[in-house]
Structure 1
Amino acid sequence: MNVFVESLPELIGALGSAGAVGIVVWCARRWRRSRDRPDPAVLEQRARSELVTDYQTVRRYTLLGTTGRDGGPIQVISTRPVGTFLIWPVGRQQERFELTDVRLYDGTFAAEPVDRYETVR
């Protein structure tokens, strides 16, 4: 028992020095991370500019001359560029629509019908 009591100060000293070294290392890492991290305002502005460019390519189109089950116009969301053709089933037929950059009164863009053709069943 005498050996344990005599070695207790050395054990406490070792634990204290290990704790002090751990605190110094933790502070150094935290300081380095805060120094390398960009300003939050810059990050927010960068994220907003990326979102704006992404959302500018997403458009909602109204398929002209079509109605859904509720009697309202059919609207489609697309990321395709203007001039792309979209095939949409209308009853037993399929109709081809051209995506345009013409903005309608409700804020959507017009998808004009080009032609219809029968589906083979």
Structure 2
Amino acid sequence: MSVVLDILTGSFAELLGGVLLLLVLAAWSRRHWRSRTSAPVPASVCASGPPPRQAQRYTLLGTHSPHGGPVQIVSGRPPGTVYTHCGEGRPRRFELTDVALSDGTHVAEPLDRYV
């Protein structure tokens, strides 16, 4: 009988550590799976129309700033809006588009071409 007690008392710390590890893993997995599941979206949110548009940064193609780079503007207007830029000595019209450039800005295509 004393041999059995020696084995149990010798492995008690390892058994306790294993149980503690299982409890930590169970708590982590429960939190992880709860954060991945989302609540259903109420029908009133879907029926309210499109979400509000955020302001976008646009690059005006064919323009140059005093520093030598392209001119960029920020607008919350939808694509298709015509913007008039009064720079470089003459006003020019640009159409805002939804085409994204590699730098994260959107294209503002010139409508007035000067030779």
TM-score, normalised relative to structure 1: 0.49
Residue number among 95, 104, 119 corresponding to 2:92 in the alignment: 95
- The aligned counterpart of 2:112 is 115
**Shift in Å, 1:58:** 1.1
1:57 lines up with 2:54 in the alignment? yes
**Shift in Å, 1:116:** 5.6
1:81 lines up with 2:78 in the alignment? yes
1:105 lines up with 2:97 in the alignment? no
Deviations 1:39-88 (A, max 9, x none): xxxxxxxxxxxxxx55x521000000001000011110000010000000
Distance across 1 between alignment mates of 2:97 and 2:111: 12
- Summarize the alignment of residues 27-46 of structure 1 with structure 2, pairs less than 5 Å apart: none
| Counterpart amino acid of residue 99 in structure 1 | L
**Shift in Å, 1:89:** 1.1
Runs of 4+ in structure 1 displaced over 3 angstroms?
none
TM-score, normalised relative to structure 2: 0.51
- The aligned counterpart of 2:68 is 71
Provide the aligned length of Structure 1 versus Structure 2: 64
Using a 3 Å threshold, how does the CA distance of structure 1 residues 116 and 93 change in structure 2: closer, same or farther? Answer: farther
| Counterpart amino acid of residue 78 in structure 1 | S
- Structure 2 unaligned spans of 5+: 1-50
Asked if the contact 1:62/1:108 (under 8 Å) is kept, the reply is yes
- The aligned counterpart of 1:46 is none
**Shift in Å, 1:92:** 1.7
Larger Rg: 1
- Whose helix proportion is higher, 1 or 2? 1
- Structure 1 unaligned spans of 5+: 1-52
What is the DSSP-based 3-state SS (H/G/I as helix, E as strand, rest coil) of the residue aligned with 2:64?
A: coil
Asked if the contact 1:96/1:116 (under 8 Å) is kept, the reply is no
